[in-house]
Structure 1
Amino acid sequence: MEQAQTNAQRIYDQVLTFATIYGGRIVLAIITLIIGLWLIGWAMRGLAAVMTKRHVDRDVQPFLLSLLNAVLRILLLLSIASTLGVQTTSFVAIIGAAGLAVGLALQGSLANFAGGVLILTFKPFRVGDLISAQGFTGNVEAIRIFDTILLTLDNKTIILPNGPLSTSSITNISTKGIIRVDQVYTVGSQNDLDATKASIQRVVDACPYALKDRQHDVLIAKLNANSREYDVRVWTKSDTYWDTYYYMLENIARQFGRDGIEAPKPKMFITNEE
């Protein structure tokens, strides 16, 4: 009986000593945890409101918020561990080593992720825009966090990684809303110059996609020995670029046939040598 009382007293003394040494730290750690979680939640809500106000794309908001939330929670846990007297140097080293290993293993995916964030934030193009990038031309069907989906004019789906896409040249055909369709037509030099220009001009004037408030050009670009080249420049809306392009090709060919405009004819020079 006396031994049991002695053991109980020893346990009581140890608990009292522990509470005396660490009680304040534990209370402070709990308070820090509660206040820290509240502050992180408040910061996340404020940041979400700012992103919405600044029209940051809704697709990228969850990724940025979850990433920042995870980083802040890790910092909070390290702060609490430091409050309890735990040495955090080893934890920081482990986290750093793990982050380096994951970064090396997923460097391609991380580059695509960063590229997706840049594209969604700065918006060099939007869904529906007609762009030329990475050797492909088509309409942007979707912008995702790791890649961009392009629908080409022949209805092929092209998936472009956002990493290279964000660091390479992009031609956005739809940015200004209007665009100029440039084409070159070659005819034989035997055709009358004014008649050829008038033939092309008829098609330009009849084109339903050509903007009426813009000056369209039919210009002689080059004179060759047996041919002439004409630059034809027609302004149209961005979303009717290809309609205009193919309309001009087909109808100029038809108009040349009706007006008797002929293709270049090769010339052969024969010399008599005795």
Structure 2
Amino acid sequence: MEEVTALSAEFVEQNLVPYTFNIIAALAIFIIGRWLVKRIAALMETGLKRKVDPTVATFLARVAHVALLAFVIIAAVDRLGVQTASLIALFGAAGLAVGLALNNSLANFAAGVMLLVLRPFKVGDYVEAGNTAGTIREIRIFSTLMTSPDNKVILVPNGSIMNNQIVNYSAMPTRRVDLVFGVSYDADLSKVKEAIKAVLAADERILADPAPNIAVSELADSSVNLIVRPWVNSADYWAVYWGTIEAVKRKFDDEGITIPFPQMDVHFDKPE
């Protein structure tokens, strides 16, 4: 009986006590480590937002959170006596298998990283990207969230954006408004140009420098077409575009300038 008691005490001392201590230590490493990782990621995000775009700061903070948390998990498992080299190899093999299965998702992830690094646009810009047009609301890891002019929510894969042309309409502070007005062949072109100049000069949103360009661009089938190209602040583009068309039409009516419509003259031969 005494021998059994001695063996039990020895087993507890040599196995149970160390294992219990290791489990408690591993839990402590995981709990405290996870708390520290969360704090570090939050501080990192706050600090980066002062220097870089908020989207980039959030993305980098999330990547750092995942990497540090993985390190904490490995440290906790190592404290339990598990061979971490084998565990890392297992994670690597699993990662390779998942990577092959999620090839498109990884491509979108890589494209998301490139978008955050290259920054062809930022939140709030109006762009054409991934064969879609809209205002950028959020650049996510795998996709970009956009809203259309009629307030539809559009989720575009980042890979599609990086593999296609990107047109950023908000990148520059000013934009050129391209308009075409057709007048009758009988119209006095000098009078037409003066009428258009008067309309542009009356609109305070149109910039004086660079000066608007007004020129004859085409002798069409039924009209003489003039290009009108004023410069405006990017925020005023559509208001000036629509407003100028209406104002020029009203001015032409006041000046008696005719805007022709397509027509066809038909000639009949008289029989002999």
TM-score range for the pair, normalised by the shorter chain length? 0.7 to 0.9
Hey, what's the Cα distance between the residues in 2 that align with 1:267 and 1:205? 39
Aligned to 1:10, which of 7, 11, 23?
A: 7
Instruction: Report Cα offsets for 1:43-89 as digits up to 9, x if no partner.
Output: 536533541332341x5655543443233232333245446542335
| Aligned mates of 1:52, 1:68 — CA distance in 2 | 15
| Residue of structure 2 in register with 1:183 after alignment | 179
User: Does the Cα contact within 8 Å between 1:112 and 1:161 map onto a contact in 2?
Assistant: no
Q: Is the 8 A contact 1:48 1:65 kept in 2?
A: yes
Equivalent of 1:209, from 193, 199, 205? 205
Tell me the alpha carbon deviations over residues 72-116 of structure 1, each in whole angstroms, 9 at most, x when there is no partner.
232333245446542335433543455456556666666556655
User: Structure 2: which amino acid aligns with 1:74?
Assistant: A
1:133 and 2:117 matched: no
Structure 2's unaligned 5+ residue stretches are: none
Alignment correspondent of 2:144: 147
State the alpha-carbon separation in 2 of the partners of residues 190 and 267 from structure 1: 17
Offset from partner CA, 1:135-163 (integer Å, 9 cap, x none) = 554444x22534323241xx342413241
| 1:5 counterpart letter in structure 2 | E
SS at match of 1:13: helix
> Partner of 1:232: helix, strand, or coil?
strand
Q: Which residue of 1 aligns with 2:50?
A: 53
2:152 aligned residue: 157
Match of 2:217 among 209, 218, 221: 221
Q: What code does the residue aligned with 1:48 have? A: E
Comparing 107-116 with 42-51, which one deviates more in the overlay? 107-116
Task: State the number of aligned residues.
Answer: 263
Deviation, structure 1 residue 267: 5.7
Residues in 2 aligned to 1:39 and 1:128: alpha-carbon distance in whole angstroms: 34
* 259-268 or 65-74, which deviates more: 259-268
Counterpart of 1:52, as a letter, is K
| Matching of residues 67-82 of structure 1 within 5 Å | 67-82=63-78
Quote the offset at 1:233 in angstroms: 0.5
In the alignment, which residue of structure 1 is the partner of 2:229?
Answer: 233
| Root mean square deviation, CA, Å | 4.1
Question: 2:52 is aligned with what amino acid?
Answer: H
C-alpha change, 1:133 and 1:66, in structure 2 (3 Å) is closer
Normalising to structure 2: TM-score of the pair?
0.73
Residue type of the alignment partner of 1:195: K
What is the aligned counterpart of 1:255 among 226, 251, 256? 251
Query: Can you list the C-alpha shifts for 1:220-252, whole angstroms capped at 9, x where unaligned?
Result: 222346532211101111111111001111121
Amino acid at match of 1:251: A
Whether the 8 Å CA contact 1:112–1:147 is kept in 2: the answer is: no
Structure 1 residue runs of 5 or longer lacking an equivalent are none
SS at 2:242 equivalent: helix
| Paired position in structure 2 for 1:169 | 165
Of residues 95, 102, 109 in structure 1, which corresponds to 2:91?
95
Aligned partner letter, 1:132: E
User: Does the residue aligned with 2:216 lie in a helix, a strand or coil?
Assistant: strand
